[in-house]
């Protein structure tokens, strides 16, 4: 499975988002997930299982498949919630959530 963080230029905000997604995956105890970052113009549907974008490019990214739209690229609670939901949509068990039940 692959998460691809995307911004308009593929530099700053997509890289920060990629690092935050990686941090969340580690905290959740989920392994074997590939992450990367890119610019919007280089991404096609099927390049990743989940595309992570900021709300500023949400409309432009809407046709790329399973898109997570973040209101804040640094709100770790929001990122954790939305990454967890995406993992569950794709049938990936979240060990951290299993321990809570």
Tens-digit pLDDT profile for residues 62-97: 999 999 999 999 999 999 999 999 999 999 988 866
Question: If pLDDT is split at 50, 70 and 90, which confidence band does 98 have?
Answer: low
| Range 15-41 average pLDDT | 96
3-state secondary structure at position 93? coil
Give the pLDDT of residue 101. Answer: 41
Q: Please give the Cα distance from 68 to 61 (Å, whole number).
A: 10
Mean model confidence pLDDT for the chain: 93
The residue among 95 and 43 whose pLDDT is bigger is 43
Looking at the DSSP assignment, which residues form a beta bridge with residue 84? none
């Amino acid at each position: 499975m692959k998460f691809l963080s995307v911004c308009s230029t593929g530099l700053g905000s997509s890289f920060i988002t990629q690092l935050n997604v990686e941090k969340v995956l580690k905290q959740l105890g989920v392994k074997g997930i590939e992450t990367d970052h890119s610019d919007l113009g280089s991404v096609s549907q099927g390049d990743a299982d989940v595309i992570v974008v900021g709300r500023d490019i949400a409309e432009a990214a809407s046709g790329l498949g399973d898109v997570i739209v973040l209101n804040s690229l640094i709100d770790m609670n929001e990122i954790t919630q939305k990454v967890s939901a995406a993992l569950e949509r794709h049938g990936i068990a979240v060990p951290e959530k299993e321990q809570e039940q």
